[in-house]
Structure 1
Amino acid sequence: MYTNKKVTQLILSLSIEEKVGQLFILAFAGEDKDYAFDLIKTMHVGGFYITDDNAHTKKDATILASQLQLQAALRACNAPLILGVDQEGAWGILTKETDLGPGNLALGIVDDIKITEKMYRVFAQQMKSIGYNTLLSPCADVNSDPDNPIIGQRAFGEEPMHVARHVAAAVKGISQGDNLSCAKHFPGHGDTHTDTHQTLPVVDKSFEQLMSQDLIPFKKAIDENVSMIMTSHIKYPQIDETYPATLSYKILTELLKNQLNFNGLIITDSMNMWAMRKNYLPHESAILALKAGAHLIMLSEEHYENGITDYKEIQKQTINGVIEAVKQGELNESIIDSALSHVLCYKYTNICLNQSKEALSEKECTHISNFSAIQAIKTLKNDAGHWPLKTAHFNITFAANPKGYDNIVNSRGIGPNDPRTARDTILSSLNKCKCHYSHISYQDFQIMLQKESSFDSTAPIIIITEDYPLPGDRFDTDAQIKIVNKAIKIWHDKVIVIGMRSDYELKKYHDLKTYICAYSSRVVSAQAVANALIQT
């Protein structure tokens, strides 16, 4: 066991390069292991942000994690690497081989903290069995703005205390699964109108408003001993007129450390997001973040920059820029030493590279995932009494433009998603059971809407709406709403809408008689919806 004294002695033996490198969490493209090994050996990095881009199967992921840790163990500073993954339900990696459940919004709708706790225990256990030791979850944001472009299904809901209870349960579940947790995005990303992957949002809230709203889930996470807190690239001018949260001493040190008494690790959101890159030089933002009180700087290469930037060069420029700032006296070495001491003590104490706690069985994991998805399906409007279905035959169509599915999985896996769509899952399930239904393709449905065709059959028409949380992009939800409203105008109470998304769309359907919501676009939720259709 490493004590503070031993860590202090270790730090004294390290060069500036070795010390600075340990404070960076980096990403690498594809299966470029040689580059990852080089980052460990020559840049002395402290960990990696891992996606499906790096390992496509559990077997490959297990090999990768082991190889990376072996390289780290050979260094003078042999602390284990942080291997972080966005395993949070609405986002997740290795989606075909892990149990992700329906996502946070659906868990919040179920509103059983024991289910949330179990679901996050599943996440933690399955990642730990691979060797990924840090879950960059749970999302502790409050959905204050229903039109927020990036949080949505990733949040547990829109009421602070409700979100806080589930955040605390998630942190507890991750701990039970023997993994590290990370509440994000401090001090809150749920009340923004723009996406930090694209721009720098501004939230004009006072300290009092933050304390009574956005910060409540983070306080609960801290009470539950959350391992890390991730910063947000958002300006809060009433708290700090100059800097966004990631770069703000007032927010990271005075608020998070001193007032909220957080003693874990502060990790930045990706410093390659345009909120940072459009406003600061790469090394400049890293220096400011360290001065503000961050312990770990994360650079996860954003997918929309893939073809126009040399991410390896940016990584080296950033780390070398911090090293040079220390050598030139621009950044006090004591800040580096203090951050590194905190990081190393935490790593040596809390990261265990072997499975050490009793694990849930695969059957139990799958049951928890399926059960939570089923429980989340809610009938929110049934004015015509059409649900459950009263007829043996039904028509079904999907409001999302199929072209939008191309963006569900981004080119570098940033903002990981399942390539299997809700549409394909539902249709596949219906086909297998040989239901009496008619599928109307997107193209044919557009023609029907244009011609205002009438149905000879008395069978209802089920319209499935979908949404997927995409960083730096948006699914075509507005276009889907227009399609649904036009259908309601033509076919009136024959229309049944099933939302594979949040229920915020319902307020846009003034004349809709039947609305069911799954609060998720995940495969497990699509399967649950298909089963509900089959059973009727």
Structure 2
Amino acid sequence: MKTFILLTIIVLLTASPGFMQTQTLDEEKKDRVTQMIDEMDDKEKIGQLVMPATQDGDDGMPNEFTREMIQDYGVGSVIVYGERGAEEQAEYNNQLQAYAEDTRMNIPLFTTADLENGAAQRVPEDATTFPRQMGVGATQSSQAADTFAQIAGKEVNALGFNWSYSPVADVNSNPLNPVIGVRAFSEQTKLVSEMTGAQVTGYQKEGVLATAKHFPGHGDTETDSHYELDSVTYDREVLEETHLPPFQEAIDNGIDSIMTAHVIIEAIDPDLPATLSKDVLTGLLREDMDFDGLIVTDAMSMEAIEDNWGTGEAAVMSIQAGADIIMATGTPDEQLETYDALYDAYQSGELTEERVQESLERILMKKFDYDLFDDRYVDASEAEAFVGNDEHQDKAEQMGRDSITLVKNENVLPFDEHSEETTFVAGVTHVDDIADRIQQQSSGDVLSWEADSHDPTSEDIQAAVEQAEEADRILVPTFSFDELPDGQSELVQALKETGKPVAAVSLGLPYDVQNYPEVDAYLASYALDNWELANPTSINAAVDVVFGAQPGGQLPVTIADHYDFGHGLSYEPSDASDIENLVEQYERKDAFANEEAVRHLQTHLTAVHHYENEEAAEKVITHMEGFKDLLDEQEDNELISEVAYNDLQEQAEVLLEQWQ
């Protein structure tokens, strides 16, 4: 009987108008794709597999070489480099699409860029900047990851980009990894998976292809594949338990593209990097993990590939292995080498008709799925007003504060913003940006000093110490993307020996405090990656926290022998409204089972704050004790996370002591 009912439901569903319409549209797309491939010549077919990097003319627009690649070679996608204004970038991308429209086949382009940190990586003066991925991980909030991706998706779409190389799905299990670092959400597989899944959904609901990278994981490497080929030696079990789950989460959430890693995964293929390995791309990704979206390579001009195989040979090997699109970066000659090698291999039969047909079907279907044939252009005149608008900036700034992690505080922070004390900022990078933000926050003078390199000399440090004598309190921003240079830890120690209160903030990796554990206070901002791409949102948020904004971050990594994953301090409350703000912060972290639990806590705290204003001590105490009882009840009924429960109980106890 149950079987009959199930079959009846299936028949009714498949016979419904909606199902039939969807099926008809899919069949129409497939028919159009088949027809287009039949009409394409060999040159046009190979062009769809090649993604050159755009080149600019003196006017800042795509140059003649780029036009030739699109119109004469029929390339199907481009990766855009360089920084522009929002309107200029939209016009630039429209010009690329116009070149493609003015071809025999009139196939729209995939317009792509490195957009891990949103549109700001291409239009830094106009677009919204976000915490780096590790900063988002520090919020412990999949809601934050989704919001990031939705805003970034909206903004890059407004600029004419339809494909983003984000999210980074690597699990940063090696603290000294020189190329991933703060580009990864966390060292913990579960958190990376949650964040990755949320961002896939966020990007793609805004009409932008998401890309999980770098498959099957670049988080445990010791070298940078931009400069040399690396191998990872862990076994298959570690691969499957630690590094693959975020990619599987992305696949389960419907991701449309995955980028390969130029890394040898010895457990799968001890001879070839993933980009060139059929065992990895076809065997593992296509067959074992059931991925049928686009596989795009990382840049093939990276030395891990170019120095060992050459761009042309590697391109052929990668398509044979199962990749669909070759990212042909590098010089114009290198880009042409990639195209020519693929074309020659196709003519000789080294690349089979079947293999090329499979990739063409995937590429063209995705272009139909994203409606690029009918909607390839954007309104450049609207881009500047929309990109980086106030609503987007406000959400990003809140996310920034929620990411800053107060790791240590020996009664030094927050600095008093109303004090006329002089603040001294001493570091190796972005010192002026930090000093300018402090000047906005502080009533006192601000002095600054920046070393000439990331590794200050003893003479440099002595100069900083002498200048520190004029200050009352000191903030030291340190920066590392692998090991912290000795000069920076010596700088922190020397400034601490002045006897003045010293707080340090890591601008890059959060592990810096291992090298100066005796510092009075320490925050992690996760603001800068190994390329030090500008990130005013996170830098400003760090300064805001130094001067009293509530830090919301929890370490998404372990600082060995010092601080555990998930560690993060809060400032003590001055009144009930501070605790109410903390409740809101935990709500953004998904710490409550439902909205009703949040509302009950807020109602209690609103009453407390009312009695605080009336200086009705007994009523404040009674309602705060009731607040603590309510927290107990929520914990018993699993309505609140353990971290939120413990922190709010501690905050409540501090406030009670102030009134008792």
Distance in structure 2 (CA, Å) of the matches to 1:433 and 1:165: 35
Where relative contact order (Cα < 8 A, 6+ residues apart) is larger, the structure is: 1
Change (3 A) 1:37 1:449: closer
Aligned to 2:488: 481
Aligned to 2:102: 74
| Pair 1:519-2:555 in alignment | no
Distance in structure 2 (CA, Å) of the matches to 1:177 and 1:5: 26
| Pair 1:507-2:535 in alignment | no
Deviations 1:158-184 (A, max 9, x none): 100101100111111102222110010
Residue among 116, 131, 142 paired with 1:88: 116
2:203 alignment partner, SS class: helix
| Pair 1:328-2:348 in alignment | yes
Contact 1:240 1:250 in 2 (8 A): yes
Deviations 1:18-61 (A, max 9, x none): 100111111023334322111111111011111225xx111111
| Pair 1:44-2:89 in alignment | no
1:491 alignment partner, SS class: coil
For 1:450, give the aligned amino acid.
Answer: Q
| Pair 1:339-2:359 in alignment | yes
Deviations 1:53-76 (A, max 9, x none): 5xx111111111112112212333
Residue among 443, 449, 457 paired with 2:461: 449
Deviations 1:348-379 (A, max 9, x none): 122443679xx999232111111111111121
Aligned to 2:54: 28
Aligned to 1:211: 240
Change (3 A) 1:71 1:434: same
2:198 alignment partner, SS class: helix
Residue among 65, 86, 104 paired with 2:93: 65
Aligned to 2:472: 459
For 1:350, give the aligned amino acid.
Answer: Y
For 2:73, give the aligned amino acid.
Answer: M
Aligned to 1:233: 262
For 2:397, give the aligned amino acid.
Answer: N
1:515 alignment partner, SS class: strand
2:523 alignment partner, SS class: strand
Distance in structure 2 (CA, Å) of the matches to 1:436 and 1:199: 49
| Pair 1:277-2:310 in alignment | no
Larger radius of gyration between Structure 1 and Structure 2: 2
Residue 119 of structure 1: how far off its partner (Å): 1.0
Change (3 A) 1:8 1:394: same
For 1:430, give the aligned amino acid.
Answer: I
Aligned to 1:395: 423
Residue 397 of structure 1: how far off its partner (Å): 2.5
Residue 96 of structure 1: how far off its partner (Å): 1.4
Residue among 410, 427, 433 paired with 1:425: 433
Residue 479 of structure 1: how far off its partner (Å): 4.5
**Amino-acid identity (%):** 27
Distance in structure 2 (CA, Å) of the matches to 1:202 and 1:101: 32
Residue among 435, 447, 450 paired with 1:439: 447
Distance in structure 1 (CA, Å) of the matches to 2:496 and 2:442: 31
Residue 436 of structure 1: how far off its partner (Å): 1.2
Distance in structure 2 (CA, Å) of the matches to 1:397 and 1:76: 60
Residue 338 of structure 1: how far off its partner (Å): 1.6
Deviations 1:206-247 (A, max 9, x none): 222111001111011111111100000000122102211000
Change (3 A) 1:316 1:503: same
Contact 1:181 1:228 in 2 (8 A): yes
Aligned to 2:394: 367
Distance in structure 2 (CA, Å) of the matches to 1:35 and 1:129: 26
Deviations 1:132-166 (A, max 9, x none): 11011010011100111111111111100101100
Residue 286 of structure 1: how far off its partner (Å): 0.3
Is 427-436 or 120-129 further displaced after alignment? 427-436
Residue among 173, 197, 204 paired with 1:144: 173
Change (3 A) 1:93 1:477: farther
Residue 78 of structure 1: how far off its partner (Å): 2.5
Contact 2:126 2:387 in 1 (8 A): no
Query: Aligned residue pairs: how many?
Result: 496
Aligned to 1:183: 212
Residue 453 of structure 1: how far off its partner (Å): 5.2
Contact 2:432 2:448 in 1 (8 A): no
Aligned to 1:298: 327
Residue 79 of structure 1: how far off its partner (Å): 2.6
Change (3 A) 1:458 1:9: closer
Deviations 1:425-451 (A, max 9, x none): 222233456631341423599647338
Aligned to 2:43: 17
Normalising to structure 2: TM-score of the pair? 0.71
Contact 2:193 2:246 in 1 (8 A): yes
Aligned to 2:544: 531
| Pair 1:251-2:284 in alignment | no
For 1:113, give the aligned amino acid.
Answer: S
Distance in structure 2 (CA, Å) of the matches to 1:180 and 1:375: 27
Q: Which runs of 5+ in 2 are unaligned?
A: 1-24, 380-385, 529-534, 550-660
Aligned to 2:251: 222
Change (3 A) 1:453 1:98: closer
Contact 2:438 2:446 in 1 (8 A): no
Contact 1:118 1:173 in 2 (8 A): yes
Residue 106 of structure 1: how far off its partner (Å): 0.6
Contact 2:422 2:444 in 1 (8 A): yes
Residue 300 of structure 1: how far off its partner (Å): 2.5
Point out the structure with the larger helix share.
2
Change (3 A) 1:493 1:218: farther
For 1:8, give the aligned amino acid.
Answer: T
Distance in structure 2 (CA, Å) of the matches to 1:82 and 1:15: 20
2:498 alignment partner, SS class: helix
Contact 1:435 1:534 in 2 (8 A): no
Aligned to 2:18: none
